[in-house]
Structure 1
């Protein structure tokens, strides 16, 4: 199967008919363009206002974890217009089976080659979260992909599609509160050791598609790299403009006191522009930053956080899957203690500790959620009870885990436990009696005296 997919995607160097205007609007988005060979598959398209099919254009294929291509494409429009990229966002490819997605991507890319004027040497894949891993996996298979822009996650770490050979450039874009932040750092470091051409862009935010300015920065960097590799015609006017934009961004970080990110931004400039102009002024900036005590302090704090968070992550990955599979609620004592450590970090005066707390909380919730999706209530009630009690500790302000805990505890005949978590929910001020009345699977609990006494205690109307 793997060889077949490789053949499908490798065949994409061939081109078909001239572009047809029904597939795009210059300077505008079409959000549900049908794939000619499959009327059930669609994509969103954007081409710059000056798009001309007589020349070849670089293309970015965008994948969203929920196949929300029409929504995901919005973040690419500004950069596509400024730097001259065609953008195609799938409304089909999403988190899920790789082989199925590879077939979707193959049909999509063949369709685009038939109807758009695409440069085969400048094909970029991009995605967010699980779809970022899909983008990287597709690049590993195809060999015709020039670059990957991975947002919110890196690649298939330790899996069949982990990058090994340096066949594409990689730009990672990640929020500093994203639970995949450490994964991205480790992924970029791994690619650096493998001699990939990499770049890392960090923004202030969580697990979300980056705002358009960061995607634009990624596209701008790739344009410079394409000129350096001879894949795009050198344009000194554009290069100077790109240089000035990057310099101003790096200098703005310096003036804000974000010396660590400023250093990285200036260092990336040297790598990108050293073939085109004198970068000694940028090197001088690096020397200036490196002498700063603030930079040394920020670097030391960064190293401390990465080391500490990596240990937490290793524990979570090592123990949580087994505990969920076992479903023994006595093991929740350990996780309660771990979450208390996260709460201590969240209450720390140090901003980096607070960010780490958000990332660790997100990681635990994400891991539990991933395993929860694989569980069937009829056969995994004990495991689902474990997961939802964990959620009540991790996300105490959310009512849904309490309600599910009441459901699964009742299903297992653990009425005292169901009443305990129901009272915990009512103590928080929960008043949605209609939701309680419609909660499935608790009929036996609902008719009990203890249940109705509990509702009366918190001034809620009882059914019986």
Structure 2
């Protein structure tokens, strides 16, 4: 059952006033007002054992779509387990300048600090993908932020990092995620800068980490706070954490994943070195790195990293060339590339399958970025945009948006033969939303054509307009 916490507090600004808040324990409280002077709100999660008489660590979750509740909900299980408060703004947006988003985030920080007791030197940010990149930029502007949990994204801008104002960066990423290689490379850069960082790498069908992996990131923040003297030392928690982390290492060794085990050992060394002796861990790490399985895996992964790098360069080069020259003839080349990735998906080699997944993620992100860039231009190049959506139907054939856009834009350019072809390709995927189909922009003439309705009748039955046979 959700517990309701009743808080009465006094804020001092231009006037003194009191406000009564009803906050939920163990659940998300939505649409809390930031203050009386701006129309901004945020969502807040308090652990079920929250008490008003002691300070709490806070993780501010950044979401550039302004979906505070959804962002918080992704982390509540781990936050509940590790005893962290979560908060997320409903007003951040990727359409705003970074400076504007920083101000919005800062107002939310102050609202939370004025609402609940927060632990000094235990304020953090977190996020997913673009939100995570923004989360990693904030410590440069807000000194109070001592760490970042970044899920599926690298540091937003390495160049602005201040080694005199360091924060702990904890990345979480699936090896099949196209962000794995940039996050892996950024880790090497952060190490050279002697910037505190850990990278929690995992495998699996989902790019999002499981609760246990996110909880481990929170635990790392807690252990670092103990090491720095910001939190009272708890030997029981330190020892149990070490043993839990070591179990994960041993499981990866047993499952023939020596690279994952090595990554975990390196992170353990950073986290536990200030807290306990690590002679046995260092000895095990040396043994593993000298093993044949590790050397073969490391050599194989580096080989696929190199191949992946060359392939990404090809994708980037040919996509740019195709856009500039409206090269529809190269659609066959893109189709061939995706067929090659489909073959790699069935490979018995784990590194090959993971590279294939990363390359597919990369090309789809690249196409999407170019779509956003061209669509945002004052004078939109519809032909280039149409070509990009055609490529998207090849690189992401199960996503309906690409087909719909091609149908719409081809109709706008009165290329009804192309529109008809992509209509049938769309319906072959299992698409059934007739209401959306008949309301597509620029298709007023196309959707009353006999050919359009014949195709709709063939796949969906019940075309809106009758097909009259002559």
Q: So what's the TM-score if we normalise by structure 1? A: 0.85
Is 1:106 paired with 2:106? yes
Which residues of structure 1 form unaligned runs of 5+? 1-16
Residue 59 (1) aligns with residue 58 (2): yes
Q: 1:463 to 1:147 in 2, by over 3 A?
A: same
Matches within 5 A, 1:19-38: 22=21, 24-38=23-37
Cα deviation code 1:281-310 (max 9, x no counterpart): 212322332243222222222212222222
> How many equivalent pairs are there?
445
How far apart, CA to CA, are the structure 1 residues paired with 2:455 and 2:26?
Answer: 60
Query: In 2, Cα distance between the equivalents of 1:298 and 1:272?
Result: 25
Name 1:444's counterpart in structure 2: 445
Q: Does 1:218 find its partner at 2:221?
A: no
- 1:33-112 map, 5 Å: 33-38=32-37, 40-97=39-96, 98-112=98-112
Per-residue CA deviations over 1:186-213 (Å, capped at 9, x if unaligned) read 2222211211111001223477543321
Cα distance between partner residues in 2 of 1:133 and 1:151: 9
Moved more, 302-311 or 399-408: 399-408
Per-residue deviation, 1:443: 3.6
SS of 1:362's partner is helix
The residue aligned with 2:161 is 163
Structure 2: give runs of 5+ residues left out of the alignment: 1-15
Q: Does residue 375 of structure 2 align to residue 372 of structure 1?
A: no
Q: How far did residue 390 of structure 1 move?
A: 0.3
Change (3 A) 1:346 1:145: same
Q: Which one has more relative contact order, counting CA pairs under 8 Å at least 6 apart?
A: 1
Q: Structure 1 residues 106-115 or 288-297, which shifts more? A: 288-297
1:29-73 deviations in Å (ceiling 9; x for gaps): 323322124563222222334444444332211112423222222
CA spacing shift, 1:249–1:349, aligned 2, 3 Å: closer
2:184 paired residue number: 185
Question: How well do the aligned residues superpose, as a CA RMSD in angstroms?
Answer: 3.1
Matched position secondary structure for 2:445: helix
Assess if the C-alpha contact under 8 Å between 1:133 and 1:156 holds in 2. yes
| 3-state SS in 2 of match to 1:349 | coil
| Structure 2 match to 1:199 | 198
List per-residue Cα deviations over 1:213-246 (Å, max 9, x = no partner).
Answer: 1111011111111222222222212211211221
After TM superposition, give the deviation of residue 110 of structure 1 in Å: 1.1
Moved more, 127-136 or 225-234: 225-234
Q: Could you tell me whether the CA contact under 8 Å between 1:179 and 1:206 is conserved in 2?
A: no
Structure 1 residue 260: deviation in Å? Answer: 1.3
What SS class does the counterpart of residue 148 from structure 1 fall into? strand
The answer as to whether partners of 1:407 and 1:418 remain within 8 angstroms in 2 is: yes
**1:65–1:129 CA contact under 8 A, matched in 2:** no
Give the drift of 1:444. Answer: 3.4
Indicate yes or no: 2:302 matched with 1:303: yes
| 2-structure distance, mates of 1:78, 1:427 | 40
Q: Distance in 2 between matches of 1:90 and 1:255?
A: 43
Q: 1:314 to 1:141 in 2, by over 3 A?
A: farther
1:314-393 equivalent positions in 2, closer than 5 A: 314-321=313-320, 323-324=322-323, 327-374=326-373, 375=375, 379-393=380-394
Residue 435 of structure 1, CA deviation: 5.0
Q: Structure 2: how far apart are the matches of 1:455 and 1:51?
A: 57
TM-score (norm 2): 0.84
Contact 1:136 1:150 in 2 (8 A): yes
From the superposition, tell whether residues 163 and 314 of structure 1 become closer, same or farther in structure 2 (CA, over 3 Å).
farther
